[in-house]
Structure 1
Amino acid sequence: MTTPLDDVEFLARSAHRVHVLETLHRGATTRGDLRDRTGIAQATLTRTLDDLVERRWARKRGRVYELTPLGVVLAVEFADLLETVETMQRLQSLAEWLPAFPFDLRLLADATVTLPTDTDVLAHVGRVERLLDGADSSWVLAGSVFHESLERQHRRSTGRGQRQVAVLSAAALERARSDPELRQLAADLLASGCVDVYRYDGTVPVMLGLVDEVALVAPLDESGVPRGLVESTDPTVREWVATTLREYVEGAEPVTATAFTG
């Protein structure tokens, strides 16, 4: 008598079994068609089909192989497991800094994850900028400001009329005030009427954004440095980001151009 773990191990240790199971789940077919669709050698395919039939996961009707009801359930559940593991693997590099999401992490299965690389340590920051460049509106929460980012936002707002709401930490705003170039850029942005800025005096543990219909989450390390970027269009994820941003706005104070011109 095998245990459930025995069957999981039996299936998982052979990519051929998984491939044939997935292919049969898309529809009954012949051995020859299976060979053409999977590229598995004839002898290996024969053994694989025999294995699935022996466990009652598949059956043969004439020349056609198909999954049994047990095989259908297994194919669906195993595909879900693989998708879950793949999601965890993609988020693994950020696990230490991810916030405590109130939603099922499997909702991030289709998320795009951008991480810094040896050749592009600001790959994730660049990705945010490219998303913002093509957006009509954005809403961000950030604990820091960068000269290049502020310049690009100046062009987006004054040149294209992009609407932005920004909730910035007190430290980020103070840095902008203390730098003459940033101070002028910030004053011009606020005077344009395209940007609403709020000052948040508490800790900003994560960078968040809504860029058109895309939700952005950039986990921060202990020094406040973004470690990567997760972007999602899942409705639940977007709603959580929107709700969180609204909460930060409610706990912040509006900032006017006089804060940078006085």
Structure 2
Amino acid sequence: MLSDDGHDGAQYLAGSPVRVAVFRTLRQEPRRPTGLTEEVDATRTTVQRILGGFRERDWVVKRDAAYHVTPTGKRVHDAYERLLDEVERADRYGRFAAELERVNAGLPAEAIGAGELTVATDRNPLAVVDRLTELLREGHGTEIRTVSPVVVQPFNRAAAAALDAGSEVELVIDRDVLEESVADFEPATDRALEDEDATVYVSSESIEYGLFENDDVACVVAYDRENNPRCVLESTDPTVTEWVDDRFESFVDDARRLSTVVENA
């Protein structure tokens, strides 16, 4: 007797790539066993055994010598394909999602896959830095808003170039980044204080992930435990853009202007 909790059917289908191939082929249109054998490159015996398993579960019926997927079979097939898509998406976005969850960023699950992902690799460890720098360059003459838990020279140069090109730049950093900027990047700090198109906020809380906004593009940046940028998701999907906009405003609300911090120091 078949299990009534669905596990037997799921395990049966997932247990063989040939079963999945047969199911996909039948989902497209009814086939006879001979046609299936040619389509999925399996022996007739294997195909007949698989069709018997499908019939036992009422996923297919035989009519006029051909096998037809039933309405319930179609639902099972489509749900299984969606599961495969989700697993593939999890493989692609797993590191990004895990790093954001580790710091309790609160990114909506619907945002996963809603955009283009750039990932730093051993072969290209600066992929994320390069992409963010490129986005800063592309934003010349527009309003740019960003949150960053680190300060690196390529970002500073790209932000300065954006300001020179007429952009308005808003940046949120934390105290650790401020101290590093004052110590190692004094010209950038002076520019942030003196340029009326640059507004820098300093958060009293440690920042553990990054944000970037430019026109209708929003980015979320995931960092590892050593504060290395590992992944950046860029999107125009409202799920992402609205979340990024809300998080940016929240960071600003909990921060103080750089000029105020420097004066008090």
Indicate whether the TM-score tops 0.5: yes
Aligned residue number for residue 123 of structure 2? 119
* Aligned counterpart for 2:61 among listed residues 59, 62, 65: 59
Whether contact under 8 Å (2:149, 2:207) holds in the other structure is yes
Aligned residue number for residue 14 of structure 2? 12
Which SS does the other structure have where 2:43 is aligned? helix
Which SS does the other structure have where 1:6 is aligned? helix
Query: What are structure 1's unaligned runs of at least 5 residues?
Result: none
Alignment partners' CA distance in 1, 2:122 and 2:106: 33
- Between the two proteins, what is the percent identity of the paired residues? 26
Aligned residue number for residue 86 of structure 2? 84
Offset at residue 219 of structure 1 (A): 2.7
Whether contact under 8 Å (1:158, 1:192) holds in the other structure is no
Offset at residue 249 of structure 1 (A): 0.3
Aligned residue number for residue 132 of structure 2? 128
Offset at residue 108 of structure 1 (A): 0.6
- Give the structure-1-normalised TM-score: 0.79
Does 1:226 find its partner at 2:229? yes
Aligned residue number for residue 69 of structure 1? 71
Alignment partners' CA distance in 2, 1:154 and 1:257: 22
Whether contact under 8 Å (1:190, 1:257) holds in the other structure is no
Q: Relative to structure 1, is the Cα distance of residues 146 and 103 closer, same or farther in structure 2, using a 3 angstrom cutoff?
A: closer
- Give the structure-2-normalised TM-score: 0.78
* Aligned counterpart for 2:209 among listed residues 187, 190, 206: 206
Which SS does the other structure have where 2:230 is aligned? coil
* Aligned counterpart for 2:242 among listed residues 239, 244, 247: 239
Does 1:2 find its partner at 2:2? yes
Query: What are structure 2's unaligned runs of at least 5 residues?
Result: none
* Aligned counterpart for 1:150 among listed residues 147, 156, 169: 156
Q: Relative to structure 1, is the Cα distance of residues 101 and 203 closer, same or farther in structure 2, using a 3 angstrom cutoff?
A: closer
Alignment partners' CA distance in 2, 1:145 and 1:104: 27
Alignment partners' CA distance in 2, 1:64 and 1:212: 55
Alignment partners' CA distance in 1, 2:17 and 2:83: 15
Aligned residue number for residue 179 of structure 2? 174
Which SS does the other structure have where 2:40 is aligned? coil
